[in-house]
Amino acid sequence: MIHDECGLFGIYGHADASRLTYFGLYAQQHRGQESAGIVSIDEEGAYHSYKGMGLVPDVFEEKHLQALPGTIAVGHVRYSTTGRPSLANAQPLHVNYKGKDIAIAHNGNLVNTFELRRALEDKGAIFRGTSDTEVIMHLFASELCRGGDMLEAVRRTCMQLKGAFCLIFLMEDTMVCVRDPFGFHPLSIGHLDGALVAASETCAFDLMDAEYERSLKPGEIYVASSEGESSQMLDGIPARPRQCIFELIYFARPDSYIYGEQVYTCRKNMGFQLAHESTPDVDFVMPFPDSGVYPAVGFAQCAELPYEHAMIRNHYVGRTFIQPSQSMRSFGVRVKINPVRAMIDGKRICIVDDSIVRGTTMITRVKKLRELGAKEVHIRISCPPVRHPCFYGIDFASPKELIAANYTLEEIQKKLDVDSLHYLSIDGLLRSVMHNDSYCLACFNGEYPVPPCRQCGKHQLEK
Ligand code: AMP
């Protein structure tokens, strides 16, 4: 199945619903750059939908927003790395079932998609794309068919899903937001002029001056309908949530507030802890922008070392992992960040970055720093070594490509050609956050809260 990193936005009861959704997606563009889509419901209950491939401002023109009338809307931005990019996988998914429109937007990765899809296909279900979301839609339709109201169907659908899912459902004039029982990915709610807003990240609320209320609880179902708002819980909620800590390390925007934590503060704390664990004797500290900036600030403050921006980012380049082949990828890194020559020659430098995945960024850029005459290069990474694949929606390389899964620290240091290398310890990472017993650390320690089914796991590993 295709592996998703996505951003969700939903709004219920606002005259400008689709325009605000557009802004909500714009703020969350970092969560997905492959496709964007919006579904709205007008006053008569008719559904309108538009989606396209590319960035939010490229997909939506004024005329498209004009054609998305109504006071209820859901939007989605999507990024996938495996499989061909395709409009069939773009979301929200909008279908008609027994004369009723249904739309679903999903963030996260299920670990039993293969089994679910096979069972559905055995009963004659037809699929257009390869995303998990189509499986969820089919299950939902089957559950509606079994009887009961929309909420019961949502509940019964969710009970069959294993893995990570934040979902926003639209049916008739009802919007339902759900967070999976482990709470793998973030989903928050707030209000704007009396309307309910829901978003993966609160930076979406800030843009429109919506008031942030709270994070949905793991396993919570939050409903907005003509009868008002209400909340209930899925059954079988585990005692401990397992929220994705990599959202705090890298994926979410630092100005967002997720899982009840300010992302910026967590990242700065990670840098602080990192400096506590290992500070080299250097002339200055510099981040690899942008991801290294926030831990580097904490690191430099804790170590009382000068902080410089000696690596400059080209903001008009997409993320380096978008490139399909390894040769293209290292070119992507060179396009993306480039050192300031005058800062490097003869200097002892400490580089702070959030993570090393394949090692492409580090290898390529350290080589350049050496060419420019750096005397010493020390690397400090604000998360532990990423040694295991993520099955829940963070796109890492396959284990074959993950540098820390294949080499010892000494070997990595040698490969990177650096004078020293230190990764933040798991203890240090947990000291950097407030709710430290609620996180999934599977990419560091291999302890998977929900084991993937054999085929899904195999697919993921073969990526
Ligand atoms: P690499 O060059 O493969 O070692 O990638 C490392 C860089 O990619 C880090 O500096 C991160 O900022 C960024 N990164 C980390 N995790 C991811 C991810 N899941 N998707 C995209 N980029 C990532």
Write out pLDDT tens, residues 47-61: 999 999 999 999 999
Is 250 a domain residue? no
Ligand 1 mutation target, pool 31, 250, 366, most atoms within 8 A of CB:
250
Is 296 a domain residue? yes
Residue predicted with more confidence, 87 or 220: 220
Residue ending a domain, choose from 205, 239, 273? 239
Is 251 a domain residue? no
Ligand 1 atom having least distance to the Cα of 357: 4
Token pair of 47 as six digits: 């559904």
Residue ending a domain, choose from 197, 223, 239? 239
Is 183 in contact with 259 (CB distance < 8 Å)? yes
The overall average pLDDT reported for the chain is: 93
Mark whether 185 and 312 lie in a shared domain.
no
pLDDT band of residue 86 (cuts 50, 70, 90) is confident
Mark whether 46 and 188 lie in a shared domain.
yes
Mark whether 270 and 205 lie in a shared domain.
no
pLDDT at 461 over 90: no
Ligand 1 atom having least distance to the Cα of 360: 2
Is 295 in contact with 271 (CB distance < 8 Å)? yes
Is 378 a domain residue? yes
How much distance in Å is there from the Cα of 290 to the middle of ligand 1?
11
pLDDT band of residue 315 (cuts 50, 70, 90) is confident
Mark whether 220 and 319 lie in a shared domain.
no
Which pLDDT score is estimated for 131?
Answer: 86
pLDDT band of residue 452 (cuts 50, 70, 90) is confident
pLDDT band of residue 320 (cuts 50, 70, 90) is very low
How much distance in Å is there from the Cα of 291 to the middle of ligand 1?
9
Phi, psi of 302 (to 5 degrees): -70, -40
- Percent of the chain past pLDDT 90, that is, above it, reads 86
Q: What is the CATH number of the domain that holds 59?
A: 3.60.20.10
pLDDT tens-digit map of 181-197: 999 999 999 999 999 99
Which residue range is the domain that position 322 belongs to? 264-436+453-462
Is 253 a domain residue? no
Is 246 in contact with 390 (CB distance < 8 Å)? yes
Which pLDDT score is estimated for 4?
Answer: 62
pLDDT at 322 over 50: no
Is 444 a domain residue? no
Is 443 a domain residue? no
Catalytic annotation present for 6: yes
313 lines ligand 1 (CB under 6 A): no
Cα separation of 405 and 395, whole Å?
A: 15
Number of domains forming the structure of the chain: 2
Report which of 43, 112, 95 is spatially closest to residue 71, judged by C-alpha positions.
43
- Average pLDDT for 369-394: 96
pLDDT at 462 over 70: no
pTM of the model: 0.95
Q: What is the CATH number of the domain that holds 366?
A: 3.40.50.2020
Is 42 in contact with 262 (CB distance < 8 Å)? no
